[in-house]
Amino acid sequence: MLKRSLFVIFGLALGSSTAWGCVDTSAAKEQAMDIGFVDVGSDITLRRLKMQNSSPGGTVLLLHGFPETLCAWTEISRELSSDYEVHAFDWPGYGLSSRPAADQFSYSPKDYARVLGEYIKKSGIDTSKLTIYATDIGALPALLLALEDPNVAKTIIVGDFAPFNRPQYMHDRLQGLKSEPSASATLAAYKTRTGAEILDTAVRGGLPKEAQFEVSAGFKDDVSSSWSHGGMTPPDAFYHYYSHFTRDEDYLEANIGKLKTPVRVVWGEKDIYITKEMGIEFAKAINVDITLLPGIGHYPHLQSPKQTVEEIRASFR
């Protein structure tokens, strides 16, 4: 209890724009969007977002990617909260969640899967009415958890991630994170830039000028102001995630036939970081169709949030 109290005090001491930067200044909206903290083990406290509904038609859990925070989901959360209970959280190493040393927590997809499972339990979510929407680094952990517990969700929607070890479908920078010495060199390059710069470059990647878009000021501020929280940056967490990535991809591929949870695959057609061919191969491996989003890059939920909302609503029909 003392650890959690100190953590919350430290988070609030950073200032309201850091702790709650993605919350609308409107009192009504601020009241509806509950952002706080939850312990999911002795070593991890997560910042989480929750929006309740008096009679929800189900629950949605939104899992962000790199270099995001839970503030990536505020617009989508508000749209969905009219019909569902909505949850999101910062992965360890991101936002205001815990950032333990790598010798205490590996930041691997497998360990993220454990964190996800603990969050669902601690939040008392009815998994029979749960849709998980997971993108980028959030998708593999969701699928690894589903291998262990097929009833973890009613539906898992995944996209724009790397389920298998396929270098030909991945951007050189991402592939370089998988082994040394290129991994350390890539991390060093990330560390020369600010969180805002990395976020801006990431969301524009591969899109023609007319398709480029801006993220909200609150989201950008949250990424920037929380970047070095706890002494570790998101690129550090990303680096450690990738050091275990091939191992956990190989585990998923070796056990893909055991995946029983219903999965939908949605992919940005213009994704240059993890190309649509990866999604096509994954969808074929689990015998489902893939939804390719024309003109959309690596971040469909940011570029076309209304489309993401519709995909999630469709999972409950």
Q: SS3 for 54?
A: coil
pTM for the complete prediction? 0.92
How far apart, in whole angstroms, are the C-alpha atoms of residue 191 and residue 202? Answer: 15
Instruction: Determine the residue type at 209.
Output: K
Q: What is the pLDDT of residue 42?
A: 83
Q: Give the pair of three-digit tokens for residue 222.
A: 């949250």
pLDDT score of 20: 54
Predicted confidence (pLDDT) per residue in 246-301, tens digit: 999 999 999 999 999 999 999 999 999 999 999 999 999 999 999 999 999 999 99
By mean pLDDT, which of 26-30, 101-105, 148-152 is the weakest?
26-30
CA distances from 5 to 2, 37, 98, 183, 244 (A): 5, 10, 13, 36, 32
Give yes or no for a contact between 73 and 301, defined as CB atoms under 8 angstroms apart.
Answer: yes
- Section 140-160 average pLDDT: 98
Domain count, the chain: 1
Cis bond before residue 67 (omega within 30° of 0): yes
Tens-place pLDDT, residues 208-231: 999 999 999 999 999 999 999 888
Whether the CB-CB separation of 48 and 88 falls below 8 Å is answered with: yes
CATH at 304:
3.40.50.1820
What percent of the chain has a predicted confidence (pLDDT) above 70? 90
Report the alpha-carbon distance of residue 124 to residue 77 in Å, rounded: 19
Closest CA to 305 of 266, 278, 275: 266
Which domain, by its residues, includes 269?
2-314
